């Protein structure tokens, strides 16, 4: 038997340090190839590390919550191999049959092991097999345009519950879990998709008391928000008492450290210039209402942010220099749009981006935006999803803000802020009428974007918000 001290690896994003968030194993547990044994937090994402070795965990060297440098030993594994080199998994091609994975003893964390055709264990930088790289499990989106699972946690396998019998009156496309709540007055199962259930949990809403307005009797997002009488998951539901301690000290690390470094870099390296415009968004609100009623958008989140995203993509085509990058030697104008969306999450501000948004239809863009925001709120956004952005939108209107002066996402030269949309007095044909009005703000890197280009770009965005039919031209 030999001992392996597993170091914190570089997971392929230029990692220098990471925080140990949660151990998935304990001393005495048997660990197998590809088993996720720890969750770490890098600069802006949570990453699950799979084991490249097989054996018994003898010691956890780093406590949860501690930040360590890459290369620091974090785990000790006792293997059955005579030496550490023999502990590495052999190439799948050398084995005549699929390896038999020993069943974990009671009290251990169960996991899956790849078949021989998958090529062996997970490959980390500096670890893993010499055979072909394993094929990762295909992502399967949750029906209805909800988020994709970015990682599968290792859990004990249990038999799948038998599906409930369909209610009288026909089939439904919305699955009802075996543990679904029922309405006390009628014992009718509550029908709601997983993202809606999570939203209800975040808002403290009892789904059995929510009146469903979905076309097939399911509870919608609007139903949950209406029941909670609030517009955002991130608004406080109750006002807590002041802590008895005089002060709280929060270490600057992880996401907060990354945000601070990025904002300082952006604010003090790129000369910002900001412009603002008030817009009559009444036709956008009508357009959003029509899209929500369309069968093509069933189960897809539709909001004014979708129209704003389309407006920005259209305006980029007319003003390409706002979709660029500054270097000391040249200006790189991008002829594709990776649209960043600033997302407020429990872990802090994240800016994942929709790749190749310029080629998406309205339905495809709506689905991509929903998946992006839900994944960000779950803290499952991966580093690759936050890299390569070309222009960003931030929706501060969801917090009731009229406008603001957004700071550029590093590496980009333009960011647009959508303010709250609410009814205000507005002059139409010489008469004052109530209209849905919003304020759009935008900041630009003045090294790349001159004032006239900035103004034309924002005017183009505003023209779409005022008249979405222009997108059809």
Question: CA nearest 449: which of 333, 277, 337, 314?
Answer: 333
Catalytic residues: 446
* Least confident stretch, 84-98, 204-218, 437-451: 84-98
CA–CA separation, 222 and 215 (whole Å): 13
**How many domains would you assign to the chain?**
3
CA–CA separation, 39 and 113 (whole Å): 18
If asked whether residues 330 and 263 sit together in one domain, one would say yes
pLDDT at 325 over 80: yes
Q: Are 419 and 403 in contact (CB under 8 A)?
A: yes
CA–CA separation, 172 and 121 (whole Å): 41
In this structure, the strands spanning 331-333 and 17-23 are unpaired
Q: Are 208 and 182 in contact (CB under 8 A)?
A: yes
pLDDT digits (tens, 9 = 90+) for 294-307: 998 888 889 999 99
Composition of the chain by helix, strand, coil, percent to 5 = 25, 20, 50
Q: What is the DSSP string of 118-139?
A: GTSS---TT-S-SSPPPPPPPP
If asked whether residues 281 and 406 sit together in one domain, one would say yes
- Provide mean pLDDT across the span 250-272: 83
Q: How many CA atoms lie within 13 A of 385 on its CB side?
A: 24
Q: Which of 31-40, 103-112, 246-255 reaches the highest mean pLDDT?
A: 31-40
If asked whether residues 166 and 75 sit together in one domain, one would say no
If asked whether residues 261 and 222 sit together in one domain, one would say no
Q: Which of 64, 86, 118 marks a domain boundary?
A: 118
Contacts 24+ apart (CB under 8 A), 163-171: 164/189
Q: Is residue 393 part of a domain?
A: yes
pLDDT at 449 over 90: yes
Query: Which one-letter DSSP state was computed for residue 414?
Result: E
CA–CA separation, 318 and 308 (whole Å): 15
- pLDDT band, residue 324 (cuts 50/70/90): very high
If asked whether residues 280 and 393 sit together in one domain, one would say yes
CATH classification at residue 206:
4.10.320.10
CA–CA separation, 396 and 308 (whole Å): 13
pLDDT digits (tens, 9 = 90+) for 375-397: 887 778 888 888 899 999 999 98
Q: Are 467 and 283 in contact (CB under 8 A)?
A: yes
More confident residue, 122 or 361: 361
CA–CA separation, 177 and 420 (whole Å): 37
Q: What are phi and psi of 173, to 5 degrees?
A: -85, -10
If asked whether residues 98 and 44 sit together in one domain, one would say yes
Q: Which of 85, 118, 151 marks a domain boundary?
A: 118
Predicted confidence at residue 251, as pLDDT, reads 84
CATH classification at residue 450:
3.30.559.10
* Least confident stretch, 201-205, 229-233, 238-242, 465-469: 229-233
More confident residue, 110 or 15: 15
pLDDT at 169 over 60: no
More confident residue, 258 or 450: 450
Question: Between helices 304-318 and 282-293, what is the axis angle to 10°?
Answer: 120
If asked whether residues 299 and 221 sit together in one domain, one would say no
In the block, tokens 């396998």 appear at 157
If asked whether residues 419 and 451 sit together in one domain, one would say yes
- Work out the number of other CB atoms within 10 angstroms of the CB of residue 234: 13
Q: What are phi and psi of 263, to 5 degrees?
A: -70, -40
> Integer distance in angstroms from the first to the last C-alpha of the chain?
71
**Which residue segment(s) compose the domain that 9 sits in?**
2-118
If asked whether residues 268 and 166 sit together in one domain, one would say no
Predicted confidence at residue 288, as pLDDT, reads 93
Q: Which of 230, 265, 287 marks a domain boundary?
A: 230
């Amino acid at each position: 038997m030999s001992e392996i001290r597993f170091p914190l690896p570089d997971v392929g994003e230029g990692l220098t340090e990471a925080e140990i968030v949660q151990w998935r194993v304990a001393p005495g547990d048997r660990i197998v190839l590809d088993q996720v044994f720890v969750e770490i937090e890098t600069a802006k994402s949570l990453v699950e590390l799979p084991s490249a070795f097989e054996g018994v965990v003898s010691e956890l060297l780093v406590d949860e919550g501690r930040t360590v440098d890459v290369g620091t030993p974090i785990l000790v594994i006792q293997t059955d191999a005579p030496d550490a080199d023999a502990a590495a998994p052999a190439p799948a091609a050398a084995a005549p049959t699929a390896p038999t994975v020993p069943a974990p003893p009671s009290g251990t964390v169960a996991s899956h092991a790849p078949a021989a055709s998958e090529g062996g264990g997970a490959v980390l930088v500096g670890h893993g097999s010499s055979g072909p790289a394993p094929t990762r499990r295909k992502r399967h989106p949750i029906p209805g345009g909800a988020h994709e699972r970015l990682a599968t946690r290792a859990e004990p396998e249990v038999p799948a519950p038998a599906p409930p019998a369909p209610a009288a009156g026909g089939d439904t496309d919305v699955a009802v879990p075996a543990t679904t709540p029922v309405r006390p007055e009628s014992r009718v199962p509550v029908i709601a998709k997983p993202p809606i259930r999570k939203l209800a949990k975040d808002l403290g809403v009892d789904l059995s008391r929510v009146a469903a307005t979905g076309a097939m009797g399911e509870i919608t997002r609007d139903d949950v928000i209406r029941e909670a009488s609030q517009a955002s998951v991130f608004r406080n539901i109750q006002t807590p008492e002041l802590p008895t301690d005089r002060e709280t000290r929060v270490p600057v690390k992880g996401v907060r450290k990354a945000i601070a470094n990025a904002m300082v870099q952006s604010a003090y390296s790129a000369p910002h210039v900001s412009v603002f415009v008030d817009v009559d968004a009444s036709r956008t609100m009508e357009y959003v209402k029509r899209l929500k009623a369309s069968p093509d958008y069933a189960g897809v989140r539709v909001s004014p942010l979708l129209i704003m995203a389309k407006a920005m993509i259209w305006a980029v085509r007319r003003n390409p220099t706002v979709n660029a990058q500054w270097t000391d030697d040249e200006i790189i104008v991008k002829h594709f749009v990776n649209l960043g969306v600033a997302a407020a999450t429990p872990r802090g501000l994240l800016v994942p981006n929709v790749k190749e948004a310029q080629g998406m239809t309205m339905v495809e863009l709506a689905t991509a935006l929903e998946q992006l925001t839900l994944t960000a709120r779950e803290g499952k956004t991966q580093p690759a999803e936050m890299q390569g952005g070309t222009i960003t939108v931030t929706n501060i209107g969801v917090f009731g803000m009229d406008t603001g002066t957004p700071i550029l996402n590093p590496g980009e030269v333009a960011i647009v802020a959508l303010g709250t949309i609410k009814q205000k007095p507005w002059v139409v044909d010489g008469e004052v009428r109530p209209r849905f009005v919003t304020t759009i703000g935008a900041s630009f890197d003045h090294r790349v974007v001159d004032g006239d280009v900035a103004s034309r770009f924002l005017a183009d965005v505003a023209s779409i918000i005022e008249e979405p039919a222009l997108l059809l031209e």
